[in-house]
Amino acid sequence: MSETFDPAWLALREPVDHRSRSAAAMSLLAPAWRAGGWTRVVDLGSGTGSNLRYLAPRLPGVGRWTLVDRDGDLLKRATAPDGVEVKRFVGDLADAGLEAIRDSDVDLATGSALLDLVSRDWLRGLAEACRDARCAALFALTYDGTIQWTAADGRRPADDPDDALVRRAVNSHQRRDKGLGPALGPMAGLMAETLFREAGYRAWSLQSPWRLGPDDAALAEALVDGWESAAADELGDVPGDGADCGGAARVRAWAERRRATIESGRFGLTVGHLDLLALPA
């Protein structure tokens, strides 16, 4: 996979990722983990180890984790809770990720913020690799295409005229090839549920939205920066929705307005995600 990530971005999102994850997924996974006496985990796209730090304290017993990422520098930063055994493997998910599942005596395959970057074919291969290994799967925080600005109370919509334009452009940009074939982008969460069911699993797609407010201003600003770049790249100078100016110019103006929204300290922002849990039938 060709996508790379800044450690500062990963650190910024980690606490929000952790508070946003589906409690229902853990309430289903933890009993299966205990009943099966599971201990062995393969974590795909591990980065600096956020998924490890979230899951390990919530799964009883001494876990043995294999972390897989193409970026060795990120893996060097991956810290684990006490009592967890960790092996790090540098390799591309296109091959090494699925091989790690097939070649390991694994109980749980997992990852976070990964599936929206992959293709249908790769995702089908993941489901089949998990089936062949007879392991469970938990893939958290897959972007689902939802971007909704609200008033500070988090209830009343606070739409900008170009929110929809930017959201459509961002979601289209998400479907570009990230190195594992044409990415599924916002369709990945539901597609994963379908493909794991076809592989014989009991599977659930569970909501895990980011709900941001003034205390999350730094993350919200980073999101606006990223959305501005992606949407401007997608739209270029093509006029959008009958506007007199090019699409990229509209995106830049939108970004300035949304930065002002964040700076005001009176906003809410929901970014939709899904957590996939798949348990052997």
CA-CA-CA-CA dihedral for 28, 43, 22, 263, to nearest 10: 170
Residue 51 in any domain: the answer is yes
The CATH number of the domain holding residue 203 is 3.40.50.150
Contact 61, 39 (CB under 8 A): yes
**At residue 209, does pLDDT exceed 50?**
yes
Residue 2 in any domain: the answer is no
Percent of the chain with pLDDT over 70: 96
Question: What pLDDT does residue 115 have?
Answer: 98
The 8 Å CB, 24+ separation contacts for 11-16 are 11/48, 12/218, 12/219, 12/222, 13/50, 13/113, 13/219, 14/50, 14/53, 16/210, 16/212, 16/216, 16/219
Question: What pLDDT does residue 238 have?
Answer: 53
**At residue 214, does pLDDT exceed 60?**
yes
Question: What pLDDT does residue 242 have?
Answer: 45
Give the tens place of pLDDT for each residue, 109-164: 999 999 999 999 999 999 999 999 999 999 999 999 999 999 987 778 889 999 99
Question: What pLDDT does residue 95 have?
Answer: 84
The predicted model gives 198-222 an average pLDDT of 98
CB atoms within 10 A of CB 37: 8
Question: What pLDDT does residue 243 have?
Answer: 44
Bridge-based pairing state of the strands 136-150 and 108-112: parallel
> pLDDT class for 94, splitting at 50, 70, 90?
confident
Residue 72 in any domain: the answer is yes
Residue 254 in any domain: the answer is yes
Query: Residue 57 has which token pair?
Result: 């304290």
The predicted model gives 211-218 an average pLDDT of 97
Residue 145 in any domain: the answer is yes
- The whole domain housing 104 covers 7-280
Residue 30 three-state SS: helix
Q: How many domains does the chain have?
A: 1
Give the tens place of pLDDT for each residue, 2-45: 567 899 999 999 999 999 999 999 999 999 999 999 999 999 99
Residue 214 in any domain: the answer is yes
Residue 15 in any domain: the answer is yes
Question: What pLDDT does residue 5 have?
Answer: 86
pTM beyond 0.85, yes or no = yes
The predicted model gives 235-248 an average pLDDT of 63
The predicted model gives 192-210 an average pLDDT of 99
Residue 25 in any domain: the answer is yes
